Amino acid sequence: MGKLTLVIADKDENYLSHLGNYIMVHYSGRFSLHLFSSFEDLSLFLESAGKHADILLYGCSFPEEAIVSEKVHTMIRLSENNTSHSDEDANTIFKYRHTERLIQDILHTYSKSSAGTFIPDGKASAGICAVHSASGGTGKTCIAAGLSMLAARRGLKCLYLNFESTPSTSFYFKGQSERSLSDVIYYLKERGDNLAVKLESGRCCDPASGVHYFLPPESACEFDELTGEDIDLFIGTIRSSSLADIIFIDLPSGLSRRNKLILKSCDKVIEICEHRAFSRYMKGVMEGDPGTGGSEETNEFSSRTFHILNKYSENASCDWYEKKNSGKFCCIIGDSEKLRFNRGEKLLIDLDQSFSASLGKLLDLIAAGGGVERCRSAGGVAFV
């Protein structure tokens, strides 16, 4: 199955036009869209041979009892009153809510009412890149969030995932959703149908940067419930769905069991390092150096890892950073006071031109150095 057939019927032609334009711009890969402002035209469409609607979104002025319901999988009524609805009115959503939230509710309602499994288009396989640091305090999240913003600015549909125990997602991105990573973990455990649609209905979008992300779970302990099968299912679903062209996973520091499972599933790994001696030691671990406790398991990561030296300063104590080591870093990012004192008023990539330029080079490096292949189908990217 390819796209979902979404039919929207409402007598307000201005509302139809604005909603239709938004869907065509942002969700053309998810929906095949049909708009009707008259009941007669809607009826002719549904009565035509071979025509159907996976989802029918209809205004209150359209008589539900007269709609050819056998040609419609999920019917959702647009309410003009923003009030809570009973279970009997579960397929009713508020007409004038934020468009992104409206799309989330549409997908969520469809995923609950569908007994079958919707298989996304799958023409473009999303590239998945983990951003990791073996030790804390290296500026890992700042780089992961910045890369996500920069990718979105370049026109890619970007998904940012934060798996830290104490996530700082809300510091970089502002969005609204009634669901969070707690719901994602529940969906994974449930092993139900339409996982990709459920995941899409739970994400939110930062209006300033255009980055998609999930709100943090209610408790960080929920991450500990994830098994290897859960992680494989999650990574496989977001890779094959149309959730994003490129996905950055912000991992907690260290080499926990969960981190190793995620690192194994990712196409590329960005490993952040800084001046401190301990950071140098852990860099050796990630490179699989037996002298620093590396193993065959970590050596597997090294073949697809980009090592980044962050917070570099010529005045910093850096006895181990010699010319012979410079070739071991794919990118060197200078220290920045502008980033250090940022309070979230501006986009991260607009605070420091040097930082933004370094991230741009890193994104280009991933794309060119082993990295990313343009997909003609959706303009997305897929790691190779």
133 and 106 share a domain? no
For the entire predicted model, the pTM comes to 0.71
Domain boundary pick from 62, 88, 113: 113
In three-state form (DSSP H/G/I as H, E/B as E, the rest C), the secondary structure along 156-173 is CCEEEEECCCCCCHHHHC
CATH for 207: 3.40.50.300
- Work out the pLDDT band at 345, boundaries 50, 70, 90: low
Of 46-50, 58-62, 89-93, least confident by mean pLDDT is 89-93
The share of the chain scoring above pLDDT 90, in percent, equals 27
Task: Report yes or no on 29 lying in a domain.
Answer: yes
Report whether pLDDT(318) > 70: no
Q: Are residues 111 and 117 in contact, defined by beta-carbon separation less than 8 angstroms?
A: no
Q: How confident is the model at residue 15 (pLDDT cuts 50, 70, 90)?
A: very high
Return phi, psi of residue 336, to 5°.
Answer: -145, 115
* 294 and 188 in a common domain: yes
Q: Determine the average pLDDT of the residues in 9-13.
A: 93
Cα(93)–Cα(350) distance, integer angstroms = 37
Number of domains composing the chain = 2
**86 and 185 in one domain?**
no
pLDDT tens per residue, range 225-238: 888 899 999 988 88
> Does residue 132 share a domain with residue 107?
no
Judge whether 312 and 332 are in contact, CB under 8 Å: yes
The verdict on residue 118 lying in a domain is: no
Among candidate residues 29, 73, 30, 67, the one with its CA nearest the CA of residue 52: 73
Q: What is the mean pLDDT of residues 45-59?
A: 90
User: Which pLDDT tens digit goes with each residue over 269-290?
Assistant: 999 988 665 555 555 555 555 4
Sequence-distant (≥ 6) Cβ neighbours of residue 41 within 8 angstroms: none
140 and 273 Cβ atoms separated by less than 8 Å: no
Whether 152 is in a domain gets the answer: yes
pLDDT of residue 245: 86
Structure-block tokens of residue 41: 């035209």
**pLDDT of 16:** 94
pLDDT of residue 117: 47
Q: Work out the average pLDDT over 59-67.
A: 86
| Same domain, residue pair 188 and 329 | yes
- Do 170 and 35 fall into the same domain? no
Can you give the pLDDT at residue 283? 55
The domain spanning residue 20 has which CATH number? 3.40.50.10850
- Mean residue pLDDT of the chain comes to 79
Flag whether pLDDT at 53 surpasses 60. yes
Considering the domain architecture, whether residues 132 and 102 belong to the same structural domain is answered as: no
Q: Which two tokens stand for residue 293?
A: 């406790």
Q: Which amino acid is at 289?
A: D
Residue 365 falls within a domain, yes or no?
Answer: yes
pLDDT of residue 149: 94
Task: Select from 236, 202, 47, 189 the least CA-distant residue to 111.
Answer: 202
Which of the listed residues 54, 79, 113 is the one where a domain comes to its end? Answer: 113
Query: Average pLDDT in the 158-162 region?
Result: 94
User: What range defines the domain where residue 104 resides?
Assistant: 4-113
Does one domain contain both 342 and 226?
A: yes
Reported as a single tens digit per residue, the pLDDT across 193-204 is 778 888 888 888
Domain boundary pick from 113, 138, 162: 113
Residue 93 has pLDDT above 60, yes or no: yes
332, part of any domain:
yes
Average of per-residue pLDDT across 292-299 = 51
Structure confidence at residue 209 as a pLDDT band (50, 70, 90): very high
Across residues 258-272, what is the average pLDDT?
90
Q: How confident is the model at residue 322 (pLDDT cuts 50, 70, 90)?
A: very low
